[in-house]
């Protein structure tokens, strides 16, 4: 199976002010003269990690990564004013123009797949190829599946669900996202952090195929947990700022773009049905269901992602 490329450091970092509130952290890695590719991180609110640079051949790709509004090293931290899907789409275009890139490959997983689809459908003329992992279309059923009492995820990870549920009083549990939001938006920092940690334990520990019910997961850092939980609750309670079924409805705009879709069969956070529905609407896309969970680091997903980025480099370089 194919593995990640070796660790690499940015050859350039910069900041881009996109409005009166937000300033984005941007980094570039690999070959400055290579095929441009944009990496879109998940969450929303998660920010980029060093291993995200390793999905691309550094000799052939000019790798662009950025922390979305309120995430990672972008400032203000965890800021939700003027923070919607369409603000982020606008930011992507601002980055492309700032870097002097005419067209690029777009790579996104989980929430990053949502944002990649929204961007490509808005600006198809700017996209050379798409690599999409852990598909999330922002539909009501997807939102309720993982976070609400009538969803299905609680039946699979009952230990973690019990801790997630216990943070909210019984009389507020009919809408868990709203209940968490009230705490995540509290003026009391201790209340915000406690809610963020509970939210992060539920989601951040549920990503991999091999599950340890007692592991701290990927969001045990309070700084990270706050930005992810606040952004996710904000986006989820606004239906990720999309019209119903918008990304499926508008797939015709991007069907000509070379695309790979990969999804873990046992992805509990983003059920495989979303990837299946997208692939049925997009028969030209290469579609892979693999033995994996949600994590981009699961080996079977890494294998397909590296194969997809290598194939696009073969095509264009």
Per the listing, tokens 């606040």 go with 230
Active site residue 77: no
What CA–CA distances, in Å, run from 112 to 41, 43, 172, 316?
A: 5, 8, 30, 23
Helix (H) or strand (E) holding 281: helix 272-281
Please enumerate in sequence order all residues whose Cβ is within 8 A of that of 287, keeping only pairs 6 or more positions apart, or say none.
Answer: 261, 262, 275, 279
Active-site pick, 74, 110, 274, 295: 110
User: Which backbone phi and psi does 146 adopt, to 5 degrees?
Assistant: -95, -25
Helical ranges in 107-262 per DSSP H = 111-122, 140-147, 158-166, 176-184, 189-204, 222-237, 246-249
Active-site pick, 57, 67, 250, 267: 267
Active site residue 110: yes
Active-site pick, 234, 294, 295, 298: 294
What CA–CA distances, in Å, run from 44 to 29, 257, 263?
A: 22, 25, 19
> What positions carry a catalytic annotation?
110, 267, 294
């Amino acid at each position: 199976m194919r593995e990640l490329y070796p660790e690499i450091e940015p050859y350039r970092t910069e900041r881009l002010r996109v409005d009166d509130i937000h300033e984005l952290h941007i980094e570039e890695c690999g070959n400055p003269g290579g095929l441009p590719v944009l990496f879109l991180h998940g969450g929303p609110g998660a920010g980029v990690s060093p291993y995200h640079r390793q999905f691309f051949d550094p000799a052939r790709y000019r790798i662009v990564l950025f922390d979305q509004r309120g995430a990672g090293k972008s400032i203000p931290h965890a800021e939700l004013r003027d923070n919607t899907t369409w603000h982020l789409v606008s930011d992507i275009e601002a980055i492309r123009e700032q870097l002097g890139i005419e067209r690029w490959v777009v790579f996104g997983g989980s929430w990053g797949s949502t944002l990649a689809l929204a961007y490509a459908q808005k600006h198809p003329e700017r996209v050379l190829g798409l690599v999409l992992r852990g598909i999330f279309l922002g539909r009501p059923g997807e939102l309720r599946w993982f976070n609400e009492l009538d969803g299905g995820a609680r039946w699979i990870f009952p230990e973690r669900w019990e801790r997630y549920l216990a943070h909210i009083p019984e009389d507020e549990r009919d809408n868990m996202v709203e209940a968490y939001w009230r705490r995540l938006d509290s003026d009391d920092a201790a209340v915000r952090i406690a809610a963020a940690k509970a939210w992060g334990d539920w989601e951040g520990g549920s990503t991999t195929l091999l599950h340890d019910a007692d592991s701290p997961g990927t969001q045990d850092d309070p700084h990270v947990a706050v930005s992810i939980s606040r952004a996710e609750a904000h986006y989820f309670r606004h239906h990720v700022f999309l019209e119903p079924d918008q990304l499926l409805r508008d797939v015709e705009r991007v069907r000509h773009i070379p695309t790979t879709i990969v999804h873990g069969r046992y992805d509990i956070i983003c059920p495989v049905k979303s990837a299946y529905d997208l692939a049925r609407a997009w028969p030209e896309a290469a579609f892979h269901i693999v033995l994996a969970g949600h994590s981009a680091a699961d080996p079977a997903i890494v294998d397909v992602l590296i194969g997809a980025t290598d194939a696009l480099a073969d095509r264009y370089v």
